[in-house]
Structure 1
Amino acid sequence: MDISAKAELRRTLLKKRQSMSMTEWREKSDRICQQLQTSVLFTQAKTILAYFSFRQEPDISLLFAHPQYRWGFPRCVGKSMFWHSWTPKDAVAIGTYGIIEPRPDAPTINPDEVDLILVPSVACDYQGYRLGYGGGYYDRLLSSPEWQNKPTIGILFDFAYLPQIPIEHWDKPLKAVCTETRFTAT
């Protein structure tokens, strides 16, 4: 696999994502939230791991006000991700990469409590493979035995949902993909 092809695709898609107007970004993000709320994977979940939007990722924060769900968010420490519960009234901190995350003293969430993981994605392909930022955090998480069978939904904008992306032997396909125009089980 040509690493430079992956890096070039990532650069191109991030540039396209960041070139969206704030109005277009908000409208598409809101439509993604609507798509998610009609998904059985989402509606049947009780504890959902999510993310705080960064670098114009789809903003799914409209969903966080729904009290029927317990929300978890990642905190990156070294090469690992730890999941902490969070509610809209809880304080947040700025983490290692400038990403908003729960405070270190927030209660942790164990894998056996999790029903669904919403995975931020630079791109996904029709088979469910994901292109992330290149840090490997989600690859390591989703490869570990306690996490590998959890339902996962890649969250991205439609222009980044591609027929095929470069993959590595360690990549694991997500169970579904959600964009502003479609929700697809892979």
Structure 2
Amino acid sequence: MTIAEEKQELRLRVRAQERALSPRYKEESDAAIADRVRALPDYREAHTVFSFFGTKREINTRPILEDALRAGKRLCLPLCTEVPGIMELRAVTSLDDLVPGVFGILEPSASCPILTPDEVDFAVLPCLSCGRAGRRLGQGGGYYDRFLTAYRGSAVLLCREMLLHEDIPVEPHDMPVPWVVTEKGLYEDGVPARLE
């Protein structure tokens, strides 16, 4: 079996696991994860935050997005382009700037200003699953791996503890993320870390 086939098999397993999670667990883990992200010193000190808008199958990032805007941070979200695997970082001043995009996910309108990865201080990234060491399993489009090749700031992966897998298959283009936030805590390079 190739690594790509292993990834696809794991995606199917993780999606089935996610569907089996209770609504109460998802709601509680969403709230705990958002609280942990907002408590991170790198998030609090960031001037520009990049984040995704979580779908019903992902972590609810709305509290993070609202907090960033309330705190006066510059907030940007991904806008998927017509070129497969390519997303643009678009700044928003309100969640009202978001419209249904290519995949039906809320994203910035095309009139929102474009930012470069160099302008971002802190990135909040999605995954289907990941390991505590930051090996990420995404949807398979390569959008975030391309972003990570150009990004040099702080970044966190958001994942429910019950969806963690330490055996994530990786290919040379897969970019690990040093911090993983779950409802149970923060992991830095695979080791439980404390917020200072």
Global fold match (TM > 0.5): yes
Superposed structure 1 runs of 4+ greater than 6 Å apart: none
Tell me how far 1:13 sits from its aligned partner.
0.9
Alignment of 1:49-64 (within 5 A): 49-64=50-65
Q: Which amino acid aligns with 1:161?
A: L
Tell me what 1:128 maps to: 134
Aligned sequence identity (%): 27
Write the deviation string for residues 25-53 of structure 1: whole angstroms up to 9, x where unpaired: 11110010111122222122121100111
Q: Relative to structure 2, which stretch is displaced further, 163-172 or 14-23? A: 14-23
Q: For 1:158 and 1:89, how far apart are their aligned partners in 2?
A: 28
Tell me how far 1:173 sits from its aligned partner.
1.0
Q: Relative to structure 2, which stretch is displaced further, 132-141 or 82-91? A: 82-91
Q: Which amino acid aligns with 1:162?
A: H
Q: Which has the higher helix share?
A: 2
Would you say 1:170 and 2:173 are equivalent positions?
yes
Q: Which amino acid aligns with 1:34?
A: D
Would you say 1:180 and 2:183 are equivalent positions?
yes
Tell me what 2:94 maps to: 88
Please report the TM-score for the alignment, with normalisation by the length of structure 2.
0.86
User: Is the contact between residue 64 and residue 88 of structure 1 (CA under 8 Å) also seen in structure 2?
Assistant: no
User: Is the contact between residue 121 and residue 154 of structure 1 (CA under 8 Å) also seen in structure 2?
Assistant: yes
Please report the TM-score for the alignment, with normalisation by the length of structure 1.
0.91
Write the deviation string for residues 11-35 of structure 1: whole angstroms up to 9, x where unpaired: 1112221332333211110010111
Write the deviation string for residues 113-145 of structure 1: whole angstroms up to 9, x where unpaired: 21011110111113211100000111112123x
Q: For 1:160 and 1:21, how far apart are their aligned partners in 2?
A: 13
**Root mean square deviation, CA, Å:** 1.6
